[in-house]
């Protein structure tokens, strides 16, 4: 790969002159500039953007931290963020943190050492103090740092109310409310959807039973085991509120046990990714608008990098998508 020094030598100019001509910064005589550009074309010279950014104390890279990419919500979020950040001139580095190692801590170290310009964190595992101790740019999805770090989230309470209204309307009497064990803690805001669901259902006289999934397991084999165990434990339940892949597992495991869906078991998923529409029957869902979440995260992050103070959290609207399971 040709360097700028090779271009300067071929054009017969100094390194500084070649640099000014190719960067557009500073005066270079037109004829000299033409020779330099011709030399660059002959050598197929490509500027080392990373090196240039390091000289400016920036990397042009944003780290995206998610629990796992085999969860359909997080893989879709990463896809949207990569696209939105690219339009803003940033490349992305994706880190999955569910293995239980030191990945999250390592990425925070990279931020402190200017190897990334900012972090978008959608994880629930690492201690808050490490984030709060940084004076660099961090934006959170769904994790409340007490107002010290900007957060983007869906309107989870509205999601819980929406799901409850549909269970009540369909005549459910016993609903399983199942979600990640990490979301039982108040600072993980998605738990508000499940807490609100419970409040609304119990106020209407509907029995609610709750189970929790591990925060380090996201594969369908695990979800199928959980769904099967719950169906055996609560044989008289007639409703399930769960994340997309877990709702799908309840669909398959329920059908395997002869459950008629939705006649005897009604299922509502929360996330509403494309996955819920690609199976039969299509799963009824409360939808988090991932494209809008990504746009908000990108906007807040890039404005903070530019030095703007962002005070308020951003809440995105949820939607109902009618399927065939409730």
Q: Is the peptide bond before 136 cis (omega within 30 degrees of 0)?
A: no
The CB-side HSE value for 15 (13 A sphere, CA atoms) comes to 4
Q: What is the pLDDT of residue 48?
A: 64
Q: What is the pLDDT of residue 100?
A: 63
**65 neighbors 107 (Cβ within 8 angstroms):** yes
In whole angstroms, give the CA distance from residue 307 to residue 326: 47
Mind listing the pLDDT tens digit of every residue in the chain (326 residues)? 788 888 889 999 888 888 888 877 778 888 998 998 898 888 888 776 555 555 556 778 898 999 888 889 999 999 999 999 999 999 998 988 876 656 677 777 776 666 788 889 998 765 677 777 777 789 999 988 877 889 999 999 999 999 999 999 999 999 999 998 877 776 788 999 999 999 999 999 999 999 999 888 888 999 999 999 999 999 999 999 999 999 999 999 999 999 999 999 999 999 999 999 999 999 999 999 999 999 999 999 999 998 888 777 899 999 999 999 99
Q: Domains in the chain, please, with CATH?
A: 4-47 (no CATH), 61-154+291-316 (3.40.50.2300), 156-288 (3.40.50.2300)
Phi, psi of 178 (to 5 degrees): -125, 130
Q: What is the pLDDT of residue 181?
A: 85
**163 neighbors 204 (Cβ within 8 angstroms):** no
């Amino acid at each position: 790969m040709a360097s700028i020094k090779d271009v300067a030598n071929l054009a017969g100019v100094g390194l500084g002159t070649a640099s000014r001509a190719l960067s557009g910064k500073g005066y270079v005589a037109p004829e000299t500039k033409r020779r330099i550009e011709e030399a660059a074309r002959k050598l197929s010279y490509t500027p080392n953007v990373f090196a240039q950014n390091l000289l400016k104390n920036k990397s042009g890279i944003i780290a995206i931290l998610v629990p796992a990419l085999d969860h359909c919500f997080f893989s879709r979020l990463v896809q949207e963020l990569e696209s939105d950040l690219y339009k803003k001139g940033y490349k992305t580095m994706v880190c999955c943190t569910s293995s239980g190692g030191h990945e999250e801590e390592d990425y925070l170290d990279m931020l402190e050492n200017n190897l990334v310009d900012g972090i978008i964190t959608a994880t629930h595992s690492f201690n808050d103090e490490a984030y709060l101790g940084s004076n660099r740019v961090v934006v959170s999805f769904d994790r409340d740092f007490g107002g010290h770090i900007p957060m983007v989230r869906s309107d989870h309470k509205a999601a819980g109310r929406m799901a409850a209204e549909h269970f009540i309307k369909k005549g459910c009497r016993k609903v399983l409310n199942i979600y990640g064990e990490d979301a039982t803690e108040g600072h993980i805001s998605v738990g508000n959807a499940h807490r609100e669901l419970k409040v609304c259902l119990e106020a209407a006289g509907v029995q609610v039973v709750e189970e929790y999934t591990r925060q380090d397991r996201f594969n369908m084999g695990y979800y199928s085991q959980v769904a099967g165990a719950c169906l055996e434990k609560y044989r008289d339940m007639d409703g399930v509120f769960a994340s997309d892949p877990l709702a799908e597992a309840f669909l398959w495991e329920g059908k395997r046990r002869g459950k008629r869906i939705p006649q005897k078991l009604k299922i509502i998923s929360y996330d509403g990714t494309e996955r819920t529409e690609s199976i039969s029957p299509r799963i009824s869902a409360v939808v988090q608008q991932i494209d809008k979440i990504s746009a908000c995260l990108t906007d807040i992050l890039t404005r903070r990098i530019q030095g703007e103070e962002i005070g308020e959290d951003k809440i995105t609207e949820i939607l109902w998508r009618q399927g065939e399971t409730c």
